[in-house]
Amino acid sequence: MKLYYTFCSFAIVCICTLLPIQAHANLSLDKVVVQFTPSERPVSNVLVSNKGDSPIKVTAEIIEVLNSGTKDEKEIKTKNLIVAPGGFELNANESRNVRLVLRKTPEDFEKIYRIRFHPDTISFTEEVEKGNKSVRVGVIISMGILVIAEPKEPKPKLEFVRNDKKIIFSNNGNVTAQLQREDFCNKDRTKCTELTGKRIYPGSTWEMEIPEHLIKTIFQQTVLINGNYSTITYPVNSD
């Protein structure tokens, strides 16, 4: 027997999530996720910094991601998101704000964009083997921002099915659901298990392997939908 559930939440706020940044990168950003909501001005600032010892030129590349999180995902150029300025110079240890402007709020489904900031200088060099020779290769590290633009009427609808060893999620709403990476512990906290985090985009599915010692156990996980943190309970299959 399979169990089917729907999980929804409706709060609307703007969120920014920081992710780990490569230690070798001269270029750094103060945020790597920006979310535009229909209730707020479609404008956000990102602080771009040069952590290196020499000046760099930076160019912004803006793309829209279609069918995010599916096998049909692809990237296209877009004019609906503006980055100003689109190109600039930064002296050593200099920072500047870059403005992001969403020109039009999506109608029915959220839209996903990526902004990549490309420096014109090598971030570090690395020695690689090529044939019988050692070759030193220069590596340029670009930094990116994920931009999520919510639709005018967000309709969250995350559904899941739990079977013996997996939980299969389907996002049948029009906004992203983000399962949080966190520990689930027993009552006396003598045993904890890390649960996998995942961003599940509208129209996409994802399977989570159930940790072995939780297969016959009811457990919970936090999910972020539309800026609202809530808890999902995963019931045990009754078979």
**Tens digits of per-residue pLDDT, 100-116?**
999 999 999 999 999 99
- Looking at the fold, whether 129 and 160 belong to one and the same domain comes out as no
Q: In the chain, what percentage of residues exceed pLDDT 70?
A: 87
- pLDDT of 128 > 70? The answer is yes
- pLDDT of 127 > 50? The answer is yes
- Looking at the fold, whether 141 and 199 belong to one and the same domain comes out as no
- Among 100, 211, 85, which Cα is nearest to 148's? 100
Residue 63 resides in a domain: yes
- Among 161, 151, 153, which Cα is nearest to 205's? 161
Using alpha carbons only, give the angle 188, 193, 195 rounded to the nearest 5 degrees: 130
**pLDDT for residue 131:** 73
Domain boundary among 128, 149, 170: 149
- pLDDT of 183 > 60? The answer is yes
Give start and end residues of each alpha helix (H) in the chain: none
Lowest mean pLDDT among 3-17, 24-38, 83-97, 208-222: 3-17
| ω into 85 cis (within 30 of 0) | yes
**pLDDT for residue 7:** 44
- pLDDT of 45 > 50? The answer is yes
Residue 227 resides in a domain: yes
| 3-class secondary structure per residue, 45-94 | EEEEEECCCCCEEEEEEEEEEECCCCCCCEEEECCCEEEECCEEEECCCC
Domain boundary among 106, 133, 149: 149
Q: In the chain, what percentage of residues exceed pLDDT 90?
A: 66
- Looking at the fold, whether 89 and 68 belong to one and the same domain comes out as yes
- pLDDT of 71 > 60? The answer is yes
User: What are the tens digits of pLDDT across the range 132-151?
Assistant: 777 777 677 788 999 999 99
The two three-digit tokens of residue 29, written as one number: 């950003």
Residue 131 domain boundaries: 27-149
- pLDDT of 175 > 50? The answer is yes
